[in-house]
Amino acid sequence: MNTLFNAISLVPKMAQDDYVGFTFFVGCMAMMAASVFFFLSMNSFDRKWRTSILVSGLITFIAAVHYWYMRDYWAMNAESPTFFRYVDWILTVPLMCVEFYLILKVAGAKKALMWKMILASVIMLVTGYFGESVYRDQAQIWGLLSGIAYFYIVYEIWLGSAKKLAMQAGGSVLKAHKTLCWFVLVGWSIYPLGYMAGTPGWYDGLNGVLSMDVIYNIGDAINKIGFGLVIYSLAVQSTLKEAK
């Protein structure tokens, strides 16, 4: 019993109206649950889909671990855990780009496509980190560089070689590719709002309206779990089709 009380006393106290802390906690639990779901479902599919499902599980698992630390960091310091967040993103966002390559392998996707998208995602994140944490007075410049890398990824999947491969594959692969494209175009656009809410610039007024961490937390949960569910749905459809 004493051990239980000691463990409870180690949990940082959180205010009832702490919506940032609430979204950290919910995000951690949601992504942990998603990881368990993806990992346990791997053996339900043909071998060619297991890597995609594994990557989906790794994305949410890495995020869940980081959210566990970010939740406690916020509760103890009432500061945005920017460093931990970017460590999470530098691992998970390239993996989300890998998912495009994995589903397009059936249409002959080359590793060059994967590495181009990974490089663009790393540039997007590194420049975003510089603007948000290191060179905050030049946040607009670093944000612009980050945005250019982001729009390169958008172009590649909507109009570039990734789109052409998806058209060749057709069927459920094309449908899944298009859904992932919408996640990148709409879901990832949440992050610039968080960036603007947390950095100085002409958009300073957003600080009083939007919470950077709440925006990031909601965006992470939607995008990372959503990406995995799209891949899971594709694997289910493909397996059912082959069974028939």
> Domains in the chain, ordered, with CATH?
17-243 (1.20.1070.10)
Average pLDDT (63-72) is 93
Q: Which band of pLDDT confidence, cut at 50, 70 and 90, is reported for residue 9?
A: very low
- Mean pLDDT over 46-50 rounds to 85
Average pLDDT over residues 17-46: 91
Average pLDDT, the chain: 87
Q: In whole angstroms, give the CA distance from residue 145 to residue 142.
A: 5
Q: What is the pLDDT of residues 91-126, one digit of tens each?
A: 999 999 999 999 999 888 999 999 999 999 999 999
pLDDT at 11: 58
Model confidence at 55, pLDDT cuts 50, 70, 90, reads very high
Per-residue pLDDT of 118-127, as tens digits, reads 999 999 999 9
Alpha-carbon gap, residue 197 to 239, rounded angstroms: 44
What pLDDT is stored for residue 14 in this prediction? 63
Q: Band the pLDDT of 228: cuts 50, 70, 90.
A: very high
Determine contact, residues 176/231, Cβ cutoff 8 Å: yes
Count Cβ atoms within 10 A of the Cβ of residue 179 and give its class: 0-12 exposed, 13-18 middle, 19 or more buried.
middle
pLDDT at 199: 81
The predicted structure's pLDDT at residue 202:
60
Percent of the chain at pLDDT > 90 equals: 61
Q: Rounded to whole angstroms, what are the CA distances from 100 to 4, 53, 63, 93, 243?
A: 45, 12, 19, 12, 24
pLDDT tens column, 143-159: 999 999 999 999 999 99
- Would the pLDDT of 211 be above 80? no
φ and ψ of 95, to 5 deg = -65, -35
5: confidence class by pLDDT, cuts 50, 70, 90: very low
Give the rounded percent of residues in the chain with a pLDDT score beyond 70: 88
Q: Give the pLDDT score at 26.
A: 93
Mean pLDDT of 206-235: 85
Q: Is the pLDDT of residue 6 over 90?
A: no
